[in-house]
Structures are given as structure tokens and as C-alpha cells.
Structure 1
Amino acid sequence: MGRDPKIWDDPLSFNPERFIGSKLDFKGQDFELLPFGSGRRMCPGMPSGIKSVQLILASLIREFDLILPNDADPKKLGMSEKFGIAMKMENPLKVIFKTKQGYE
């Protein structure tokens, strides 16, 4: 099913852009994604992976101050987004990680 040419255009090539504008649910509720699991049979590591990313991000925020380079004005940062497989900033945010006092 994952390589079925009736379902996918050029199924043997790596082409993540095929999902742009698609209404497929990444949790596997759609027929096209059934090989990846859904419902009770979905990947058991997915909730753990999501929680791990949240924990790592919280740890970074707790232990570091994020400083803009060259005294950049935060009000002038471009917050527009660039559409793709994952939403990301059109202009990447560049910051300096500085250890907070007491966490050295």
C-alpha cells in the first residue's frame, strides 16, 4: 500500500512535498497512511517522542537566556512564516545562548 502507484504519484521516490496542501492526518487516520499505524496500533513511541521534545525545550528555556546578536531590536524581527512540510520562519531567528546565573 505504501508503494501503490494507484495511491501515490511516483511512489518509489522520496518526495515529502507531495503532502503540501494535503488534508492527510499525520496521526494515521487516513487510508493512505494506514501502514504507519492508527488508533490503538499506532506507533507506541509517538507520545513519548513528543513529550521528550517538550522536555528538552523546557530545559533549554530554564537554563539559558536567549539573546539577539548585535543588539537587534526584537520589535523589528520578521515573524512571517514560510509554508512547507513544517511551518518555519521565512527569515531564521538567530540567537545566542547564554548560561543563566546559578546554572553554570
Structure 2
Amino acid sequence: MRDVFDAIADPTRRRLIRLLAEAEEIPLHELTAQFQMGRTAVSKHLSILKEAGLVLDRKVGKETRFRLNDAPLREIHNWLTFYNKFWNTNMLRLNQLLEEEEEE
């Protein structure tokens, strides 16, 4: 299983996630049309997203359709939420210190 953070580090893969989030399911040829790269390159990016559990696929005849699995994105959300609280708390402390210095 690939690390989710590693999988979303690439801008192309983040764009693929956005496209998949905006649609219920998208065939490979429609995804490929959104990029200035070949089908093989898009497939490679989708494979990395699949390894991280972010993308699910299914065969419909000869066509492969992809959809987003948003569960791993919760891991990222939880991580960011923790650090958001961390920075908000520290900025509040800094603000209080600055106010105390102004009063002196």
C-alpha cells in the first residue's frame, strides 16, 4: 500500500483526484483527454492513486472506469486539522503576548 501523502504530492495526481471527485465515474479515455500526456502516463498516475487506496476501478466491457475512494482523504484531513489547531493555538498565544507587551 502506497502512502496517501506520497500519492497526492504530484500535481497531476491531485488534478486526477479533483476530476474524479467531480464525477461519479470516469472512463480512462475521458480522463486522458484532460491531460497533455498519453494514456500510459495517465494510467501510471492512476495506478499510484490506486495503490494508495484513493481510486477504485472496474471493467465495463473493454473500458476501464475510475472513481474516487475518499476514505483515505480523511487521513489527510485529520492530519491537517491537528496542525490547524496547533497553529491557531500558537497564533492566539503570540497575539496575547503582543497585547501584553503593548500594555506595558
Whether TM exceeds 0.5 here: the answer is no
Q: TM-score, normalised by structure 1?
A: 0.29
Q: TM-score, normalised by structure 2?
A: 0.29
Higher relative contact order (CA 8 A, sep 6+): 2
